[in-house]
Structure formats: structure tokens, C-alpha cells
Amino acid sequence: MLAALRAPSSATWLVRPRTDRARDPADLLALCPGARVAALADALERAAGDTVLVTGSTYLVGQAREILLDEEPDPLPVGDPSHRG
């Protein structure tokens, strides 16, 4: 799937969503040669002005939306071990 989504001339950033269930993005580097690992906000900042494709979980897409649209973070982060509802 990663190979199908990558554009030949684009940068690929692997990031970790804000959930304890997310896999470490460094584990995926072998599957995506040339990709780099960064925090989501850093990856989006580096891509400023370019077309950005955010894939993965809806958690990650929601976090990207918060950053890009300057929205308030979700008050109940999924998988946050400090949250005891």
C-alpha cells in the first residue's frame, strides 16, 4: 500500500498518532525506503505550501486537521492511558 501511495518526487514522512496503540514509525522505515520519521506537526510544517496526503488512522487524520485548521484538540484522546472516563 505504501508503494502505491508514494509519488516519485515527493517526501514521505512517517509519524505516530497521539495514541498508545500506535506503532513506532521507525518500525516502518524498512517498508518505505527514503521515508523519514518526524512528529506530525514537524512533518506538516516541512510540507507547508505543498499538497499533503495524510493516511493511516482516523486518529492521525483528526490530529492533522487540528494542526492544519488550528482547531482545539479532542478533549478525550483515544488510547490516552492518563484518561480514566
pLDDT tens profile 50-66: 888 888 888 899 899 99
In the prediction, which pLDDT does 21 show?
83
Q: How confident is the model at residue 76 (pLDDT cuts 50, 70, 90)?
A: low
For residues 58-80, one letter each, b for 16 or more C-beta atoms within 10 angstroms of the residue's C-beta and e for the rest, the string is ebbebbbebeeeeeeeeeebeee
Higher pLDDT, 48 or 80: 48
